[in-house]
Amino acid sequence: MRRGATSLVLATCASVLACQKDVPPRSNSVPGPSYTPLSPQVLALIAPPPADPSAAIPLSPRAAASLADDVARRVEAAKTAPDHPHHVVPVAGMFVLADGDDGARLDAAVDLTQRLVSALSGPVFAHPPAKGTMVWIYGTGPFFEQGVRDHTHWYTFNKDEHPGFGMYEAQTRTIVVRTDTGGLGDLGHEIVHVLAGSDAPRAPAFLEEGVPSLAEISVFSKGPDGRETVRFGAHFRLQTLRDVLAGHDADKRAQIRVESTFALQTYVDFHETGPEYLHYASSRELCRFLFQRGQLWDFWRAARDSVLEDPTANMAFKKVTGKMPAEMTDEFFAWVQSKQAEGT
């Protein structure tokens, strides 16, 4: 800007400021807008519908398309796998099941997977998986072990440890199970791992393992609205706890208390600290205890939704049950020894 223009601007500003000295100050009170309140009838028309607690939160169009592409890719990859499966079946838009040998119970596996998704995805687990999961079903041990080698990294990191009867590898989103030993119970466990992990990826370890282990004994029925429902039966984990309570080992008894189960917060806590079989037993049966009281899924939602301010889920437990974990142990132990615990 030239010097003459600068002088002109300064003179103009000075004149404006001088004129403003004679302007009376404005009032600090600014009148609000004038409008007629909407009638209750109009408000009812424009209000959003109440949230359906039994509805899953839908994926965005882009995420849904990505999930569909991922499932399609897994279907094509399975067809050319070394197992040479006879059938490759997409289920519920999120799982792909394939038979790894002639003894695989694929039809039953597909039915169980579909029913678990119908009963739990939405009514319990609000956030569906954003990626597909490949599920290999085997009917014999040798083919199962070869499937673990072909489709997972298990033996890369666990050279001397057997994979058991089923496993879910989250990194590759791959489930491998055998059905000649525990039937389809292990498949149910791993399917719920996928659903629960998508809904609450930061859940404490006792919930992360306890809830999926419920599906090892799944009992299905239809609700009044025709929707699939599921309850969970007892198995050997209940007897494990009963043996501890009938014995004289104070350390084991202390480890199955409710507050001790809540202390299983991380992978290391659960799998590498103390006897793992007791951790599975106390976690599963505590979840089943809450389920029979009609409190499990309310507790799950409360723990999921408050995970940042309540990562241990202690306060979520108190919100739902009215008690802190340590205050519930006597009731839990009494239930474990009751006839009611043997039902669903």
Tell me if 284 sits within 8 A of 278, measured CB to CB: no
User: Do residues 305 and 200 lie in contact, with contact meaning Cβ atoms separated by under 8 Å?
Assistant: no
Q: Do residues 313 and 204 touch, judged by C-beta distance below 8 A?
A: yes
Least confident among 25-39, 156-170, 191-205, 241-255: 25-39
Domain ranges of the chain: 54-199, 234-344
At 154 the pLDDT is 86
Rama region for 169: left / alpha / beta (φ>0; ψ in -120 to 50; rest) = beta
Q: For 135, left (φ over 0), alpha (ψ -120 to 50), or beta?
A: beta
Q: Do 266 and 243 form a contact (C-beta atoms < 8 A)?
A: no
CATH class of the 54-199 domain in this structure: alpha beta
First-to-last alpha carbon distance for the chain, in angstroms, is 86
The residue type found at 59 is L
SS3 label, residue 125? strand
pLDDT over threshold 60, residue 1: no
Distance of alpha carbon 48 from its chain centroid, rounded?
A: 27
- The more confident residue out of 42 and 279 is 279
List all residues 6 or more positions away from 129 whose beta carbon is below 8 Å from its beta carbon: 67, 94, 194, 195, 198
Sheet holding 95-99, edge to edge: 88-91, 95-99, 133-138, 174-178, 166-169
pLDDT of residue 286: 98
Number of neighbours of residue 230 by Cβ within 10 angstroms: 21
Q: Which two tokens stand for residue 208?
A: 């992360």
Question: How far apart (Å, rounded) are the C-alpha atoms in residues 129 and 120?
Answer: 13
Distance separating alpha carbons of residues 190 and 109, to the nearest angstrom: 12
Which pLDDT band holds residue 226 (cuts at 50, 70, 90)? Answer: confident
Residue 11 pLDDT level (bands cut at 50, 70, 90): very low
C-alpha 178/C-alpha 165 separation (Å) is: 6
Q: What is the model's pLDDT at position 54? A: 58
Q: What is the average pLDDT score of the chain?
A: 87
Full-model pTM? 0.83
Cβ atoms 1, 8 nearer than 8 A: no
Place of tokens 């796998």: 81
pLDDT in tens, 266-325: 999 999 888 999 999 999 999 999 999 999 999 999 999 999 999 999 999 999 999 999
- DSSP-assigned beta bridge partners for residue 88: 98
Residue 108 CA to residue 316 CA, distance in Å, equals 37
